[in-house]
Amino acid sequence: MTAKATRSAFITSAGATLASIGIVRSPARAAEIAGKAGTNQPPDHPLSLAMKDLWDAVRTQTNGRVDVTVFPNNQLGGDTAMMQQLRAGALQVMTLDGGILEAVVPVAAIQSIGFAFPDSAAAFRAFDGKLGAYVRGEIEAKGIHPFDKIWENGMRMITSSTRPVHNDADLAGFKMRTPNSRIALDLFRSLGAAPTPMNFSELYTSLQTHVVDGQENPLANIEFARFFEVQKYLTLSAHMWGGYWLLAGGEWWKAIPPDLQAVITRNASIFTDRQRRDVMKLNDSLIGKLHTQGMEVIDKPDRASMKAKLGEFYGRWKVEFGATPWSLLEGYAGKLG
């Protein structure tokens, strides 16, 4: 079976599974608030499942007054396209990595500072705390409603089809895909690589055809996108943490009555907590599985040699973000640079 057919069958099967889950609707009441929600992950990724279950719960608890339909797997376009739709009012809810949200809210990229967090738990402390509150304020100022908790993507790891990455020297000239994020591009240029930005939806084909030789993503994304079919080496670099903001269009959110906002907000918190647990558990389980699927795992790369090259990188982004958010970041991450 071809890679394309394999992935198609995988998505079709997952879609059939989701279709079998009953949705409670009230035939006596038309929805007062309707909308669409988009994700960039397959239907049975924990992120897409949490998004669907969140809006199913809201629909049930509001007796059908709020009816939001979920479109997983980039059905509404890639991250950049969905963000444009959200701002234009054509899309009501989405999840988006802070490094890509940077195009609209520059300080959202602060989550992508290289080697700032040792693990996801440390990142959650920062974004459930004062740093997250600061970033949410900046998102609100752009007319977008951010929910209180950021969703998990995970620690990002490097994969390669050409050579194992053990240290900073192995990244020299390496053709690396990054998200369409200035800070990710700057990080890998600072590490000596040759990064190319592209949307996640384009990545499998680009790896398959060697437009790029490698990429970096959390383990769950590597597994669900089947990158093990087109990548040989997996380096547990944990060079950056990734989190998804759960976002709603500002005008759409303001039009929702307070009692319904309260139901949505409560469920967003509940399903964020579940999504975090599920993704962290999944990421922890995948190292062995990816190895059995043919990937050679470099489990103890020289992260110190990589971080040592980032002095100027830290200096640039301290100026870029400003003293206040940088101080908040270092309050959780320790001194950087």
Per-residue pLDDT at 161 exceeds 90: yes
pLDDT single digits (tens) 230-244: 999 999 999 999 999
- Residue corresponding to tokens 């490094």: 99
2-16, 93-107, 247-261: lowest mean pLDDT where? 2-16
Per-residue pLDDT at 293 exceeds 50: yes
**Mean pLDDT over residues 278-306, rounded?**
97
CB 298 within 8 A of CB 233: yes
Q: H helices of the chain, where?
A: 3-19, 46-61, 79-88, 98-101, 120-127, 130-141, 182-190, 203-208, 219-224, 250-254, 258-292, 303-307, 311-321, 323-333
DSSP 98-122: HHHHTTTSGGGGGGG-TT--SSHHH
Look up the domain containing 16 and give its range: 3-333
Comparing C-alpha atoms, which of 45, 13, 43 is closest to residue 275?
Answer: 45
Burial of 24 (C-beta count, 10 Å sphere; 0-12/13-18/19+): exposed
Per-residue pLDDT at 189 exceeds 80: yes
193-208 burial by CB neighbour count: b if 16+ within 10 A, else e? bebbebbbeebbebbe
**Mean pLDDT over residues 207-218, rounded?**
97
The Cα–Cα gap between 88 and 85 comes to: 5
**Mean pLDDT over residues 139-154, rounded?**
97
Per-residue pLDDT at 14 exceeds 50: no
CB 18 within 8 A of CB 43: yes
DSSP state of 295: P
Per-residue pLDDT at 112 exceeds 90: yes
CB 164 within 8 A of CB 296: yes
Question: What's the pLDDT at 29?
Answer: 61
The Cα–Cα gap between 187 and 196 comes to: 12
Question: What's the pLDDT at 307?
Answer: 97
pTM of the predicted model over 0.85: yes
Comparing C-alpha atoms, which of 175, 179, 170 is closest to residue 98?
Answer: 179
Q: Which residue has the higher pLDDT, 245 or 7?
A: 245
Per-residue pLDDT at 3 exceeds 70: no
State the CB neighbour count (10 A cutoff) for residue 255.
Answer: 11
% pLDDT > 90, the chain? 88
Q: Which residue has the higher pLDDT, 256 or 27?
A: 256
In the chain, how many domains are there? 1
- Please provide residue 158's backbone torsions phi and psi, each rounded to the nearest 5 degrees: -95, 135
Per-residue pLDDT at 31 exceeds 80: yes
Question: What CATH number does residue 246 fall under?
Answer: 3.40.190.170
